Amino acid sequence: MSQKHIAQLLRPKSVAVIGASNNPKRAGFVMMRNLLQGGFSGPIMPVTPKYKAVSGVLAYASIDDLPAVPDLAILCTSARRVPDIIDQLGIKGTRSAIVLAAGLSNRTTEDGLTIKDAMMECARRHGVRILGPNSLGMIIPSIGLNASFSHTPALPGKIALISQSAAICTTILDWAKPKGIGFSNFISLGDASDVDFGELIDYLCRDTHTRAIMLCIDSIQHRRSFMSAARAASRNKPVLVFKAGSTHEGAIATHLHTGGISGSDAAYDAAIRRSGMLRVRDLHELFAAVETLAHDKPLKGEKLAIITNGGGPAVMAIDTLIERQGRLAEFSDELKDKLCQVMPPGWLPGNPIDLLGDAPPKRYADVLKVLLEANEADAILLMHAPAAAAPATEYANAVIDTLSTCKPRQCPNIFTNWTGEETVQESRKLFARANIPNFRTPAGAVGAFMHMVQYRRNQKLLLETPESVPENVPSDISAAHTAIAEAIAQNNMQLETHDAGAILSSYGIPTIPTLVAENPEQAASLAKQLSFPIALKVICEGIRYKSEVGGVVLNLNSSAEVLTAAEAMLERVTNAYPDAQVDGLALQPMAQRSGSQEIRIAVQTDPVFGPIILLGEGGSDWDTARDAAVALPPLNMALARYLVIEALAENKLKDRRLPQGLDRDALCILLTQVSHLITDCPEIVELDLNPALASGSDIVVLDTTIKLQPTPEHPAQRMAIRPYPKALEEWRELRNGEPVLLRPIRPEDEPSHKAFDLSLTREDRYKRFFGEVGEMTHEAMAHLTQIDYDREMAFIATQKDNQGMHTTLGVVRIHIDPDNTEAEFAVILRPNMQGQGLGRMLMEKVINYCKEQQIEEIMGYTMPENRGMIELSRKLGFKVKFMLEDGMVEMRMPFNSG
């Protein structure tokens, strides 16, 4: 999948319209009209045997007759003709096509293939990239390309929109044009049979015309590329998501619409948050988000000030703000005094600032100027209800004139809400021309502000430095693999508490001791080995919830009670499930429930995003969407803490204020260990710890279910985010005989990496960064340590010092282009590590990694005075080229050249 091909698709120099028409009711007519009216400067070549010319442009009877190879072909034909046309285009040499026809998955060819599969077979054979089918087309205003059959064009702007739904595309265009909101790229994916979100996001992330990206998603087909691209893009530009099909019925409709698998809405939520993107819930929020992105700048903080001429609308705004966990700015005494000087006598200072209903336009300007000079609010919402004092336009002009005196970098974010309709139409146009967001309702304005707040919070979460899991928490991969392999060999694909204990304990997940009896008599005998009181539970794969059939009996105080309870339990189970196969009876000592809290941790496999981790209250009846907070693995301590906070905030987990409370650190360690377990053991497709009993820092699992499968063919691909590649860890020996661990960098390495950065000399920094560079900020360090292992890699050399602290000795880093063709490296060592062979070790490590990843070439740059690096690169086989005019040296090593 090449970004070069995506660039050719989105920036073509010539276009052919297959199925062009002079019939106004045909898509080929609308396409030609839009292309010609858009101002595209390249050749537009209609292909049709029916007409000599289309819309006044000479037509060609067939693709073979075209005088030049078109960069882009647009297919306005019926579905049945698509595969043959793609084949002809491929032979001609065209490498990009837009397919408008729908229903390709529901119809078959004479060979029994669906038309979609036949189309893709031809496309792959010739290397043709396809946008669609069922696509509206695309609009790229910067090159005058309207390759769509939309009823209205898009204005030029800085927002890129990618949508699977053509209807949403046309709705947004219809709404945006009168508001003067434009787009850098407007792309209708349709069924996304080939070109998908991930590739387009990668392209738009690098597109200088695009400042923000909006996604309208029905379904995701390539989870890993989507997550990787989204995480990279959201660090540089705002990425907003509108996801359709949030309900079960909506998911069914989504599948019928695009043929995609929808997956659970909770998993989408988790994926969007984890990527640093922001989700909007409906078209009203989507429009508000577009307007905010079109006119505004990143938020510096979360404190909102409100200026209004009416108390009621301001109260509505505050209610919305507080309900969405927003913050009102608190004014200093000095600011209050200044406000009193421009307000009528008797005014009570506070936020919101109520100017009163008879406020003239000058009062708006005066109060706004005081707020701007005070710099105590991160954002200001100006509200105006129709007033008799002056026309609405005079108030708008007063605000616009005052804001024009504020330097852009010093000015807070501004939102306006001029309520009403007929009397404020002109005011809204004035705000639009001045690039000031205006909203029809108080809730809309505050909602737009809170979108920016939530986006800012998501970005901060991405950069949070996680703690390390305590080293005394075990992680015995070998023991877990052995236990799982034995279960699979015995065809035991569902493990209950008594079978799962060895797997859980190998990852430090504490379970309660469990004995298993085959019959009531044996249960009574085994009970003597445990401390009374004990719990008795039936073991039966066919019963989902044991408590529903009396399959759990608690507080048994003698062997006789155990015998009686077991006999009665088996009778109840037999009556309720006559065909059920009872596998035995489990006995456990009663856990101390007084002062404890039952929680539930589960792992499920989502059809779109793979394994997901769920957290909520313990219990048998659990609806994922309603009762659980969801996160995508792999988790570290910071991400686990965010999951706990989310569960508490949404009341999916309750802090019951028990004597020892809910120990969040202990819960985060447990969640992180569960994440490690499912990451290391791809055979686990489901896991349910229900309940786990939490009492302070002690958490013990009472009941467990683990569902297994044989190892999948590509185990690493099952996860949406590539986990830490532990297999790449390697011990080596320095020339002085000391051991050193070469391994991929982790987010937890930030403190030691900061110390490493501070150890570098001024000369080291100059050679590495080609100039003077100051001390790294936390944000810069987070970008260096929290990497996406799918598209970049950093290997560090690390040792433990005498105090048991990890010390970073050196690092080699590569950044891989999205096409996996070229990797650029950079390497640097601690000053006291020179001459120990560490530089060669790190370079060999990264070269071998590039070969394994089938990257075509590794390259890097250094300065002419860095003789050591130049000599090392020559010894390793790099081709060295001195570029004296640029003051640097290029080092290249191609792979697989033969």
Could you tell me which residues come within 8 angstroms of residue 319 by beta carbon, excluding any fewer than 6 positions away?
Answer: none
Which residues, 6 or more positions from 868, have their beta carbon under 8 angstroms from its beta carbon? 834, 839
Helix and strand element counts for the chain (H, E): 28, 38
Looking at the structure, give the CATH architecture of the domain made up of residues 1-137.
Answer: 3-Layer(aba) Sandwich (3.40)
**CATH classification for the domain delimited by 467-511+591-723, as one of 3.40.50.300, 3.30.470.20, 3.40.920.10, 3.40.50.170:** 3.30.470.20
Q: In this predicted model, which residue has the larger pLDDT, 118 or 246?
A: 118
pLDDT digits (tens, 9 = 90+) for 536-590: 999 887 777 777 788 899 999 999 999 999 999 999 988 888 888 888 999 999 8
**Dihedral-angle region of residue 230 (phi above 0 means left; psi in -120 to 50 means alpha; beta otherwise):** alpha
Cα(614)–Cα(244) distance, integer angstroms: 22
Flag whether pLDDT at 315 surpasses 60.
yes
Report the run of H or E that residue 574 belongs to, with start and end. helix 559-576
Would you call 119 helix, strand, or coil by DSSP?
helix
Over residues 388-425, the pLDDT tens digits come to 788 999 999 999 999 999 887 789 999 999 998 888 99
Give the pLDDT confidence score for residue 265 in this predicted structure.
92
Residue 1 pLDDT class (50, 70, 90 cuts): very low
Nearby residues of 802 by Cβ (< 8 Å), 6 or more positions away:
none
The answer to whether 417 and 444 have CB atoms below 8 angstroms apart is: yes
Residue 108 has pLDDT above 50, yes or no: yes
245-286 per-position pLDDT tens digit: 655 554 544 545 455 566 799 999 999 999 989 898 887 788
Average of per-residue pLDDT values in the chain: 90
Residue 255 has what pLDDT?
46
Q: What is the DSSP letter of 163?
A: E
Please give the average per-residue pLDDT across 191-220, as a whole number: 94
The residues of the chain that CATH labels 3.40.630.30 are 726-894
Q: Which helix (H) or strand (E) holds 671?
A: helix 664-680
Task: Give the residue from 444, 377, 363 showing the smallest Cα distance to 410.
Answer: 377
What top-level class would CATH report for the domain 150-295?
Answer: alpha beta
Residue ranges of the chain that CATH labels 3.40.50.261: 150-295, 299-462
How do residues 345-382 score in pLDDT, each as one tens digit?
A: 888 899 999 998 889 999 999 999 999 999 999 999 99
Alpha-carbon torsion angle 261, 264, 269, 272, nearest 10? -30
Task: Evaluate whether 214 touches 240 at the Cβ level (below 8 Å).
Answer: yes
pLDDT digit string, tens, across residues 14-63: 999 999 999 999 999 999 999 999 999 999 999 999 999 999 999 999 99
pLDDT at 462: 75
Residue 672's pLDDT band, with cuts at 50, 70 and 90, is very high
- Residue 46 has a pLDDT of 98
CATH topology of domain 513-590: Dna Ligase; domain 1 (3.30.1490)
Ranges of CATH 3.30.470.20 domains, the chain: 467-511+591-723
Provide the β-strand partners of residue 139: 146, 186
Q: What is the pLDDT of residue 245?
A: 64
- Whether the pLDDT of residue 769 is over 70: the answer is no
Per CATH, the number for 726-894 is 3.40.630.30
552-556 β-sheet, strand order: 515-517, 584-589, 534-539, 552-556
Report the share of the chain in percent with pLDDT over 90: 69
443-460 pLDDT, tens digit per residue, is 999 998 998 898 888 887
Higher pLDDT among residues 141 and 176, named by residue: 141
pLDDT at 461: 76
> Residue 647: which residues within 8 A CB-CB, separation 6 or more?
615, 616, 628, 629, 653
In CATH terms, the fold of domain 299-462 is Rossmann fold (3.40.50)
H or E stretch covering 304: strand 303-308
